[in-house]
Amino acid sequence: MKKNTVIALLACIALYGCGYHAGALFRDDIRTIYVQGFDNQTFRRGLEAPLTRAVCEEIKLRTPFIFAPRDEADSILSGKILDVQEKTKVESERGRVLVRGVSLTVLFRWRDRLTGADITPEQTIDESARLRTGVAETGVGVGGEAAAADLVPQETSYDAVFQQIAQRIVENMQKSW
């Protein structure tokens, strides 16, 4: 055998002997999932549907689970938005908000539909993101008047923070070693 092959084989044996193994990140006994629409306990409306979509998309991308109707699924994922905070991070000379910080607190739970037992007990996730929200000003024009502004791509949604929350939920769905 070649030297590299022998080294690779010894490395695999050493890792296996130390308790490391390549295995599934997710439970084998759960094949299907129903994602219940997230509830929203804040006064800011319209956040629950895009958060639910982000979680479903992340489950589709990173897990082996197949979506099923509630009464046929092996498991049910549910959650609620507990808190939303927005803070101005960058303001223009004319008082326009250019960048704002958004923090979201979400509680989620993943349970076995047949037994009702928690697969992942209730957990709270806090995530923050910076969102560009306004117009960039180009400066002062002739006679001290404000010059025309260049538009900055507006991020009017919370997509960045929803994505972070969804990633954290999927990470918490993985088997604990």
C-alpha–C-alpha distance, residues 13 and 93, integer Å: 63
Residue 21 has pLDDT above 50, yes or no: no
Which segment of 28-32, 127-131, 134-138 scores lowest on mean pLDDT?
A: 134-138
C-alpha–C-alpha distance, residues 64 and 122, integer Å: 22
Identify the CA nearest to 63 among candidates 108, 32, 37: 32
Instruction: Give the domain ranges of the chain.
Output: 30-173
Mean pLDDT of 5-9: 54
- pLDDT at position 157 is 59
Report pTM: 0.71
Residue 53 CB partners (closer than 8 Å, separation 6+): none
- pLDDT at position 160 is 87
Q: Indicate the CATH number for domain 30-173.
A: 3.40.50.10610
Q: What is the pLDDT of residues 39-91, one digit of tens each?
A: 999 998 999 999 999 999 999 999 999 999 999 999 999 999 999 988 766 55
Helix (H) or strand (E) holding 17: helix 3-17
- pLDDT at position 155 is 45
